[in-house]
Amino acid sequence: MTTPIPVLIDCDPGHDDAFALWLALGSDRLDVRGVTAVGGNAGLSHTERNARVVLTVAGVTDVPVAAGAAEPLERELETAEWIHGENGLGGPELPPAGFELDSRDATALMVDVLTSSDEPVAIIATGPITNVALLVRDHPELHERIREIVWMGGSTERGNVTPYAEFNAWVDPEALDIVVRSGIRFTMVGLNVTHTALVTPEVRERVAAVSNNTGRFGAELLDFFCATNNEVFGMPEGPLHDPVAVAVLAAPETITSVHTRLDVELVGPETRGATSVDLDGMLRREPNVHVVTALDVSAFWDRVVAALRTLA
């Protein structure tokens, strides 16, 4: 077996963030060294608590969880309660978190994990990328300690919060721009591919059949998530975006990506947060990111269900 990749997960749980955390924690290819929360789907006080609850449900109480940015770099936070409920994890009754929030802030936790690791650490981000932007901006000396950044957000096609912007990109486009320009290896996992990771009735049955705490809690999350996706987007099989970003490292055999050019729209009043992905090389600019273009959906769900089974 190869040595697991050390990873930090930056998230805003969030129903799909919960599955992203579980896929990472249940994967023998990844070693989760820390979790950081950001304001996104709900306010920071919810997302940091939700991250600890999601780990607790899975029986994991020894991975530090730290709180990061409550607001985007230059804008006011806009949340997504229409999909995730007011507390960010609508549906199941939330048990108390089994451990306290780490006393460090997100940047301090990430710095400690990066500097204490023998090898470069990957960062998987599944929310507005504010925390990662702060780390990258304020700690250039640590860039070489970051193996790569994989982020769920953006799209090569249309958006899900405005016609051309995906939620995570739209909430903090300036943060995304900083991270993309940093020169650190960056992979975008956008709606163009996450919209294939649909929570079909069969997926719901498979999750519900995982006979542990995580399976039961996860099934209740999916019931709520599919109901709100149906109400808002007419998609009763809600797309479970965030675990696809984890699959880039935990299940790379399920992923197809291309090296291409990404530029982030910061100013357009109608297009703020749009991710301009030059798949056809029309702009003749240097490729600067990897963009995921396809997912082996059935193998992906096998990996998600297998990960859930390893948890409590």
- Active site amino acids: 241
Distance CA 34, CA 11 (A): 11
Chain-centre distance for alpha carbon 120: 20
Reduced to 3 states (helix: H, G, I; strand: E, B; else coil), residue 226 is helix
Count, residues near Ca ion per rule CB under 5 A: 6
80 binds, among Ca ion, ligand BDR, none (CB under 5 to 8 A by kind): ligand BDR
Q: Which residues of 67-85 are buried (b: 16+ CB within 10 A; e: fewer)?
A: bbbebbbebebebbeebbb
Binding ligand BDR (rule: CB under 6 A), the pick from 36, 79, 160, 254 is 160
Residue 47 contacts ligand BDR per CB under 6 A:
no
Decide if residue 292 touches ligand BDR (CB under 6 A): no
Q: Which is nearer to ligand BDR, 38 or 114 (CB)?
A: 38
Contact residue for ligand BDR among 41, 107, 260, 275 (CB under 6 A): 41
Nearer to ligand BDR, 42 or 207 (CB): 42
Quick note: the x/- pattern for ligand BDR over 248-287, rule CB under 6 A, is ----------------------------------------
Using Cβ positions, the residue closest to ligand BDR within the complex turns out to be 167
Could you say which of Ca ion, ligand BDR, none residue 83 binds, taking C-beta under 5 to 8 angstroms by partner kind? ligand BDR
Pick the closer one to ligand BDR by CB: 14 or 218.
Answer: 14
Q: Which residues contact 284 (CB under 8 A, 6 or more apart)?
A: none
The strand pair at 65-67 and 146-152 is best described as unpaired
Tokens coding 47: 């997302």
- Could you say which of 17, 177, 220, 265 contacts Ca ion (CB under 5 A)? 17
User: Which residues, 6 or more positions from 207, have their beta carbon under 8 angstroms from its beta carbon?
Assistant: 215, 218, 219, 222, 304, 305, 308
Binding mask 208-247 for Ca ion (x = CB under 5 A): ----------------------------------x-----
Residues numbered 15-34 forming contacts with ligand BDR, rule: CB under 6 A: 16-17
Closest CA to 263 of 247, 242, 284, 248: 284
Residues 6, 8, 14, 149: which binds Ca ion (CB under 5 A)?
Answer: 14
User: Widest CA span of the chain, in angstroms?
Assistant: 53
Is residue 91 involved in binding ligand BDR (CB under 6 A)? Answer: no
Q: What angle do CA 277, 11, 220 make, to 5 degrees?
A: 110
Q: Considering only residues 174-233, where is the footprint of ligand BDR by CB under 6 A?
A: none
CB of 116 to Ca ion, least distance (A): 27
To the nearest whole angstrom, how small is the minimum distance from the Cβ of residue 45 to Ca ion?
16
CB closer to Ca ion, 10 vs 177: 10
CA dihedral 257, 171, 145, 277 (to 10 degrees): 30
CB 197 within 8 A of CB 241: yes
- Torsions phi, psi for 229 (to 5 deg): -65, -35
Site for Ca ion in 118-157 (CB under 5 A): 126-127
Q: Is 10 an interacting residue with respect to ligand BDR (CB under 6 A)?
A: no
By beta-carbon proximity to ligand BDR, the closer residue of 54 and 83 is: 83
Q: Which of 24, 6, 21, 25 minimizes the C-alpha distance to 115?
A: 6
Closest by CA position to 168, among listed 150, 154, 188, 187: 154
Residues at the contact surface with Ca ion, assessed by CB under 5 A: 12, 14, 17, 126-127, 242
